[in-house]
Amino acid sequence: MKQYSTVDSLLQSLIKTSHLNEGREETLLDWYRRIRHVSEDVVSEELSALQGGFSANSVGQAFVYGYEIAIQRLTGLNTKEQLAAFCVTENKSTHPQSINVSLSKGENGQVFLNGRKDFVTLAAGAKWLLVAAKSGLSSDGRNQIKLVKVDVSSSGVDVVVLPSLPFIPDVSHGVVTFNAVEVDGDDIFSGDGYGDFVKPFRWCEDINVFISLSGYLLKIALTNQWPLESKVEIISILATLLSMQGMGADEPIAHIIMFEQVSRLECWLDHYDQAWASVDSSVAVGWKRDRAILKIASHARSARYKKALSRLRLT
């Protein structure tokens, strides 16, 4: 059994050690590997995103940790040592009919990957690219999608890093082109690449990133002696998010609760906005810049919320 296998036991440990500041100078990958190794030894899988977020020194680190935990939990790919990146977006869309990156067979039975992904998170730091690719058409003319694992160092893979976003500048984004990249059959995930991976990843990423981000904010509140009520409320939000990890992406109630927890977090941040004056100025400035991350996928989250309300006949 892990040393900390319950929310209560882990929170007690984190609160006790929240005053410690290691002050290390590390690259994003070095920090990530170190914290993943610590987490692997002492924390159950369900609590890993909380451990990582609490250990983060920036919003970007908290995001990356939750993002990688989501990939591992959904796909089974071990992301402890190397970062992985989901590659779906083409022409600003993640809809399966917009996917033109494709798999094809060569004369000798080899499988090749061709095409371009326009916006890949962690493009500059990922070892593994998880690529949504068209493998053919269904009887009704719809794209059939497969998820393919590609080593970024493979021949034919070209990564062009984009300018930093206005927020989380420590997290790279880029354009990735695949030019006749040979793919091993074992690196093509079984099942429906869209229905089994791309679509549920939105849910899995949301949960784990918000757990990690809330863990980071809890540390801020603790180390800067914010009001007791602020600590109690962020712990309540965290506990709710952690309890939702067993819910499926197809459950309407999951999307309703998720929407409400994000709304609670937004209200919490507005209420304690002035408390950032007690925080180290570089950290506070970083937060003011990076808070925009909460708006990522907010439109899709709202759409899932409204659809869930309709499915439960609440509207």
pLDDT of residue 2 exceeding 80, the answer is no
CA 15 to CA 219: how far, in whole Å?
Answer: 8
| DSSP code of residue 32 | H
* Predicted confidence (pLDDT) per residue in 102-136, tens digit: 999 988 889 999 999 999 999 999 999 999 999 98
CA 169 to CA 174: how far, in whole Å?
Answer: 13
* Predicted confidence (pLDDT) per residue in 152-193, tens digit: 999 999 999 999 999 999 999 999 999 999 999 999 999 999
* Average pLDDT of the segment spanning 247-273: 95
The per-residue pLDDT for 38 is: 87
| Phi, psi (deg, nearest 5) at residue 291 | -60, -25
pLDDT of residue 80 exceeding 80, the answer is yes
Name the 3-class secondary structure at 241.
Answer: helix
| Phi, psi (deg, nearest 5) at residue 79 | -105, 20
pTM above 0.85, yes or no: yes
The per-residue pLDDT for 50 is: 96
The per-residue pLDDT for 107 is: 81
CA 75 to CA 77: how far, in whole Å?
Answer: 5
The per-residue pLDDT for 207 is: 96
Percent pLDDT > 70 in the chain is 98
Domain ranges of the chain: 84-192
The per-residue pLDDT for 20 is: 53
Name the 3-class secondary structure at 301.
Answer: helix
pLDDT tier at 29, thresholds 50, 70, 90: very high
The per-residue pLDDT for 22 is: 56
The per-residue pLDDT for 152 is: 97
| DSSP code of residue 191 | S
Domain 84-192: state its class: mainly beta
Of 16-20, 63-67, 96-100, 215-219, least confident by mean pLDDT is 16-20
pLDDT of residue 31 exceeding 60, the answer is yes
Q: Per DSSP, what are the bridge partners of residue 103?
A: 113
The per-residue pLDDT for 75 is: 97
Query: What is the distance, to the nearest Å, from the Cα of residue 222 to the centroid of all Cα atoms in its chain?
Result: 24
| Burial class (CB within 10 angstroms; exposed 0-12, middle 13-18, buried 19+) of 21 | exposed
> Nearest to residue 218, comparing CAs of 32, 43, 62?
62
pLDDT of residue 150 exceeding 70, the answer is yes
Q: Helix H segments across 78-227? A: 199-223
* Average pLDDT of the segment spanning 286-290: 97
The per-residue pLDDT for 21 is: 54
pLDDT averaged over the chain? 93
| DSSP code of residue 82 | S
The per-residue pLDDT for 165 is: 93
Query: Higher-confidence residue: 41 or 66?
Result: 66
The per-residue pLDDT for 64 is: 97
The per-residue pLDDT for 187 is: 97
pLDDT tier at 35, thresholds 50, 70, 90: very high
pLDDT tier at 137, thresholds 50, 70, 90: confident
